[in-house]
Amino acid sequence: MSSLRLASGFLLSAVFLSSAAAAVVSGTISDSASEPISGARVLLLSPDRIWQISTGKDGHFQFVDVPPGSYTLRASEESFKDGIASVHVGIESPAPLSVVLSLGSIPDMRYCGIHTDISYAVLDPSRPRLRGTLLQYSNSKPLKGAEISLWRTGERKPAYRTKSDPFGRFALDAAPGRYSLRISQWSYHEFDEPNFLLPRENSVFVNTSLLERDRIVACQ
């Protein structure tokens, strides 16, 4: 399960002529009753870069200095289905977006049990592109010696791999691209994020836990 949550059926499109000038992408996130959703996570994604922000009390979000190009905007909040908007930035800033999230399942299975947090920052060339921490789900202690690997589609061997240190930390200086991120350790259930993006201009941080094979998670 991942906090990087894909959209579920809400699509908007704003198309403008291209330009070298940076723009603003803004809008509001609300529920089906037109009430603003505060604290929703909003991602603006392209193969080159990812921005992330949370909505304010009025449900508003704003990304500034966005270069021209095509982007995907994803909005997510617990207990709601995710929303997606297709945005094309050109000679002017796109019109403000209005994304409506509909109620999801209760309990929200994305937040029940193991929850993986994926976050992004401006790339620091002096540090590995992918970093993270790994814990044992049952006691939140660091998990040492787990294998973290990145797999390209159709290949039989991982493109990159490493192991977590005694503090559960790991780092991989991998090339940008799309991978399957796999984390495994003997006697634990394997973690697999099949559509994992390493943007060209971002560092990516992954924080997650592994569940022991002899344990189950009950959701209420």
The pLDDT, as a whole number, for residue 13 is 40
Question: Which H or E element spans position 8?
Answer: none
Give the model's pLDDT for residue 11.
42
Q: Is residue 10 predicted with pLDDT exceeding 50?
A: no
Tell me which amino acid residue 193 is. E
| Mean of pLDDT values over 51-60 | 96
- pLDDT tens figures, 24-51: 999 999 999 999 999 999 999 998 999 9
Give residue 104's pLDDT.
74
pLDDT of residue 78: 85
- 186-212 burial, b at 16+ Cβ within 10 Å, e below that, comes to eebeebebeebbbbeebbbebbbbbbe
Please say whether the beta carbons of 143 and 164 come within 8 A.
yes
What pTM value is reported for the model?
0.73
Instruction: Tell me which residue of 123, 102, 115 sits closest to 50, measured CA to CA.
Output: 123
Residue 114's pLDDT is 75
pLDDT single digits (tens) 69-83:
999 999 999 889 999
13-101 matches 117-210 in fold: yes
Strands, E assignment, 59-153: 60-66, 69-76, 83-89, 97-101, 117-122, 130-136, 147-151
The CATH homologous superfamily of the domain defined by 13-101 = Immunoglobulins (2.60.40.10)
- In this model, does residue 8 exceed pLDDT 60? no
pLDDT tens, position by position, 130-185: 999 999 998 999 999 999 999 999 999 999 999 999 999 999 999 999 999 999 99
Question: The tokens of 50 are what?
Answer: 């990812």
Fold that domain 117-210 belongs to in CATH: Immunoglobulin-like (2.60.40)
Q: What is the structure's pLDDT at 22?
A: 76
Rg (CA), the chain: 19
Q: What is the DSSP letter of 2?
A: B
Which two three-digit tokens encode residue 155? 């290949």
Q: Which of 40, 23, 57 is nearest to 100 (CA)?
A: 40
- Which stretch of 9-13, 137-141, 193-197 has the lowest confidence by average pLDDT? 9-13
Tell me what pLDDT residue 112 has.
Answer: 63
pLDDT of residue 15 exceeding 50, the answer is: no
For residue 66, the model assigns a pLDDT of 93
Q: Are strands 191-198 and 177-184 parallel, antiparallel or unpaired?
A: antiparallel
What is the per-residue pLDDT across 100-114, written as a single tens digit (0 to 9) for each?
999 876 555 555 667
Q: How does DSSP assign 163-178, residue by residue?
A: E--TTSEEEE-PPSEE
What are the sequence ranges of the domains in the chain? 13-101, 117-210
Q: What is the pLDDT of residue 106?
A: 58
Q: Which residue has the higher pLDDT, 12 or 52?
A: 52
Alpha carbon distance 70, 2 (integer Å): 24
pLDDT for 142: 97
Find out whether 73 and 97 touch, Cβ atoms under 8 Å: yes
